[in-house]
Structure 1
Amino acid sequence: MVLIISSILLILFLLIKWYSNSTKSKNLPPSPPKLPIIGNLHQLGRLPHRTFLSLAKKYGPIMQLHFGSVPVLVISSADAAREILKTHDLVFANRPQKKNYKILIYDCKDVSTAPYGEYWRQIKSISVLHLLSAKRVQSLRAVREEEVGLMMEKIKHYSSKSLPVNISELASKITNDIVCRVALGRKYDGESGKGFKKLLREFNESLSAFIVGAYVPWLDWVTHVSGFYARAKKVAKQFDELLEDVVEDHINRQKGVNEDHDDFVDVLLWIQKTESLGFPIDRTIIKALLLDMFIGGTDTISSLLEWEMTELIRHPNIMKKLQEEARLVANGRKHITEEDLSHMNYLKAVVKETLRLHPPFPLLVPRVNTQDIKLNGYHIKAGTHVIINNWSIARDPTNWNQPEEFKPERFLNNPIDIKGNDLILTPFGAGRRGCPGVVYAIAANEIVLANLIHQFDWELPGGAKGLETLDMSETIGFIAHRNTPLVALATPNKK
């Protein structure tokens, strides 16, 4: 017995020594101490982007954590992000295949979560060329302007009764209404609107939920017992039934469909009939691509709007400067149009500065490397999940002067863009897996913000000062909304 135990201990000692030597020879990235089984999961905190920044200050901009059995590389500098998003973009072009993604998004048949390969290239091409091109986005201008007009009338109603305006709620409604009209050809009002909003909220919550079984497989039973998978399947079924009804309705009323039709369902049905991609564009793919519009075109834009208005209310001098630009461009007209936006440079600077301080995705959607690779001298094992801390890079004092201050002027006469060309500001990602909906998102955001500022003066209820009293905390989840709704009083502009 003593001989057997001694032999086992010797073998374990040799294995540990071999693993230690092997690890050292591979020069892994710096890593904080981890616990058995769960690794560094206990260190995530309520807001991981803030936790990662704190850890990066100690362990560096390329840091390796372990979420259970999964190695996770956390990137916290623009130079390191460039290695992932530009230099080795192809190696890091894959996505983690998480169970909740598969349940909710048709087994990852959409652009955002599909594995990298020929299928993904083809469906991204559909999105870029047919759904989200600059020409296509421009053709939807009338929808955006009409919905903005309805929003302004609602705010006037509140103003006439001296009632405060829930800006967060209105931002959510207008972005949902625009997406529904451009994607599905209809919007949901009244009771159906409440049901749709609830369904979309539950969908987003299920999509962004942390699944412990993805990192510690033998603990997946916890997720089953909690009822999460059952709830996610129920939400997926309800959303599928909604999209199925919409697609069926479009098929029944189609007459000579072409790409100039008013909504994305018609365009996708037109592509189904006319394009040859090497695989059939079936009903599931159409619904998966429509889901992408709701994933990327609702919460992200409404989050940006509420943070823009938050910062403007906190900084009345900046709001005044933006109002002066808007009213000069409008030249006495009631509404700002999309043609006016090209003359509003300060507006664009406000948008960029808000995206810098409050990116809708503080952490870019994770990537996975398909092969072992050397990154800045560190060995990165194939299958490592890569998280780019978008939030911390945009606040890095080596790239930004007074990074914690809201200063739109930093973007005036500044070539930095938001489309992934400048790695110090990547709110929509970059490289192959960068968001294809940048043009759509900015068009929907700018026209709303311009009219909110042009048509109304804003202040907090009770004469409170925004810089001193506004709660600036964020929600938990993929998308960083305000933790509390933004509520303000609107006074119609008399000038």
Structure 2
Amino acid sequence: MLRQIPTVSVQTMLIFLCFLLVFTSFLLLLLLSRNNKDGASSRKGLLPPGPPRFPVIGNLHQLGKFSLHRALHELSRRYGPLMSLQLGCVSTVVVSSARMAREVLKTHDLQFADRPFLVSVQKLTYNGLDLTFSPYGEYWRELRKICIIGFFSIKRVQSFQSIREDEVSILIKSISQLADSSKLVNLSKMMFSTTSNIICGIAFGKNFHEEGCERSTFYGLLDEYQVSMGSFAFANYFPSLGWILDTLTGFNSRLERIFQGFDSFFRQVIEEHLDPKRLKHDRGDITDLLLQMHKDHTSEIDLTLDHIKAVMTDILLAGTDTTTATLVWAMTFLAKHPRVMEKAQEEVRNLIRNKQNISEYDLHQLHYLKCVVKETLRLQPAAPLLVPRESRKQCNLDGYKIHPKTQILVNAWTIGRDPEFWENPEEFRPERFINSSIDFKGQCFEYIPFGSGRRICPGINFGMVIVELVLANLLYSFDWELPPGIKTADIDMEELSGLTVHKKNALCLLASNYTEHCTSLL
């Protein structure tokens, strides 16, 4: 009788084979690098300066001490605002100054309009069928037109006002109950819940207020998505061996589970919208609009259900992720700087009186609050490296040759701290934006939290109105204090790595109902 091979032996053999392949590749690349030493030297002067690199891994070993944007910031201080790195098999150029950002995002915008391969986003966006990560071309241009006109225009954003205000009202009531019982408010959790419910209401016509399996599953998927985007994927840097290594680490199975979870959710949403018995709001939601285009063939794109699910993925994940991160960082900065919080509260409460909640009609009056948001995005942009770009063809950049398929990382975090443009750049001081023409619409290259050029974030209006509305109501309705025994200096600013950078540890504060506000409503 044949003896069954234990599972552990198979795993051991796979691991041994994997390392054997890596070791063989290392020797081959080392041999090639020695044989082509003269040729490499002749090309060296054409590339931007950068740190020495190891065979095979290149400069990957230099990126592990800090968050990626901070590690690149430290390297750029030594090698300059245009820096060349080799990340595994991926040639990378890092941009760390306003001048070079202008060159990449404006002067040579078309040459750098593509996106690199990132295994997580390719999987979750149905092989790049979404707007954010699809390759530059006719499909992307048509999809962008659909999204801007259909979802992100000012008129369309305003049409969803009631959804945003209803969700903020629910948030304020929940915090008020915690304030009455003197319980800590986990703002990280509550911002996440409120933002995701707003996005789901606008995009899918549903929310997750009721406790239950569907809610916990949905929030669990969003949590796993954030973790996966911050996880190291070998396939991003070593395409030939990446799949094997990512399978051994369990990354591929986790990614597949997340994809299947979201795909099942989107299928359910689509089925609900196709149900003829469904009660449809006069305004409709984004899914209604996409399905109508699918049915009527009114766009240049032949929209399949996978196209629709990819766009739904974009709106849900990008909208929830970046908006939540910005709100949490804004409240963190305010808690750390009581003078600024007091000034922002004074503006809100002096201008808006005798109202239960602040509405979107009130936001245009809150100039200092808008400065607080701008300053938050300067010091802690939600996507510190923006969304990576990729060169479409060879071009010259500041006298250096940039080859096709080179990944371009624009460090907006470093640019927002450049002392050439910002006085006391490490200081949180919203006053710097008072009477300033600097904005985040992509024309001021010293301040580009949403990017610039063709691939600037199209949902700026969509996200900013949520941030301003939530923040205004938090400051209007409550006085905020740190937990007992905690000082402002103790508030940590640790980050979680990923395309979107979140606060690592939850922000928990004590809220008390604003007395004058409560009295005026009696």
Aligned position for 1:480: 501
The amino acid across from 1:44 in the alignment is: L
Number of corresponding residues: 482
Aligned position for 2:154: 134
The amino acid across from 1:134 in the alignment is: I
The amino acid across from 1:425 in the alignment is: Y
SS of 2:512's equivalent?
A: strand
Return the TM-score normalized by structure 1: 0.94
Aligned position for 1:180: 200
Aligned position for 2:444: 422
Contact 2:230–2:497 (CA under 8 A) maintained in structure 1: no
Cα distance per residue 1:385-423 (max 9 Å; x no partner): 000111110011111000000000000111111121111
Residues 407-486 of structure 1 aligned to structure 2 (within 5 Å): 407-462=429-484, 464-466=486-488, 468-486=489-507
The amino acid across from 2:201 in the alignment is: R
Following superposition, the deviation at residue 477 of structure 1 comes to 1.7
**Does residue 371 of structure 1 match 2:396?**
no
Report the Cα distance in structure 2 between the residues aligned to 1:13 and 1:335, rounded to whole angstroms: 69
User: Which of 77, 83, 98 does residue 97 from structure 2 map onto?
Assistant: 77
Following superposition, the deviation at residue 14 of structure 1 comes to 7.0
User: Which of 95, 105, 117 does residue 125 from structure 2 map onto?
Assistant: 105
Following superposition, the deviation at residue 207 of structure 1 comes to 3.6
Aligned position for 2:21: none
Cα distance per residue 1:409-456 (max 9 Å; x no partner): 000111111121111111111111111110011011111000000010
Cα distance per residue 1:152-193 (max 9 Å; x no partner): 110111011111111111111100110111111001231221
Aligned position for 2:47: 28
Aligned position for 2:328: 306
Aligned position for 1:233: 256
Report the Cα distance in structure 2 between the residues aligned to 1:460 and 1:187, rounded to whole angstroms: 31
Return the TM-score normalized by structure 2: 0.89
Give the 3 Å change call, closer, same or farther, for CA 254–30 of structure 1 in structure 2.
Answer: farther
Contact 2:82–2:95 (CA under 8 A) maintained in structure 1: yes
Contact 1:459–1:489 (CA under 8 A) maintained in structure 2: yes
Following superposition, the deviation at residue 334 of structure 1 comes to 2.2
Aligned position for 1:362: 384
User: Which of 188, 191, 203 does residue 171 from structure 1 map onto?
Assistant: 191
The amino acid across from 1:181 in the alignment is: G
Of all paired residues, the percent bearing the same amino acid is 41
Report the Cα distance in structure 1 between the residues aligned to 2:409 and 2:183, rounded to whole angstroms: 43
Following superposition, the deviation at residue 338 of structure 1 comes to 0.6
Report the Cα distance in structure 1 between the residues aligned to 2:308 and 2:168, rounded to whole angstroms: 28
Following superposition, the deviation at residue 195 of structure 1 comes to 1.3
Following superposition, the deviation at residue 104 of structure 1 comes to 1.5
Following superposition, the deviation at residue 252 of structure 1 comes to 1.5
SS of 1:249's equivalent?
A: helix
User: Which of 139, 149, 159 does residue 119 from structure 1 map onto?
Assistant: 139
Aligned position for 2:164: 144
**Does residue 494 of structure 1 match 2:490?**
no
Report the Cα distance in structure 2 between the residues aligned to 1:122 and 1:194, rounded to whole angstroms: 36
Aligned position for 2:285: 263
Unaligned runs of 5+ in 2: 1-30, 517-522
Aligned position for 1:3: none
Contact 2:157–2:461 (CA under 8 A) maintained in structure 1: yes
Give the 3 Å change call, closer, same or farther, for CA 44–326 of structure 1 in structure 2.
Answer: same
Aligned position for 1:5: none
Report the Cα distance in structure 2 between the residues aligned to 1:491 and 1:13, rounded to whole angstroms: 68
The amino acid across from 1:366 in the alignment is: P
Contact 1:261–1:267 (CA under 8 A) maintained in structure 2: no
Contact 2:293–2:299 (CA under 8 A) maintained in structure 1: no
Give the 3 Å change call, closer, same or farther, for CA 350–130 of structure 1 in structure 2.
Answer: same
Report the Cα distance in structure 1 between the residues aligned to 2:448 and 2:350, rounded to whole angstroms: 31
Report the Cα distance in structure 2 between the residues aligned to 1:216 and 1:118, rounded to whole angstroms: 29
User: Which of 337, 340, 343 does residue 362 from structure 2 map onto?
Assistant: 340
Contact 2:233–2:251 (CA under 8 A) maintained in structure 1: no
Report the Cα distance in structure 2 between the residues aligned to 1:238 and 1:12, rounded to whole angstroms: 44
Report the Cα distance in structure 1 between the residues aligned to 2:485 and 2:228, rounded to whole angstroms: 39
Following superposition, the deviation at residue 460 of structure 1 comes to 0.5
Following superposition, the deviation at residue 13 of structure 1 comes to 7.1
Unaligned runs of 5+ in 1: 1-9
Aligned position for 1:154: 174
Report the Cα distance in structure 2 between the residues aligned to 1:479 and 1:11, rounded to whole angstroms: 37
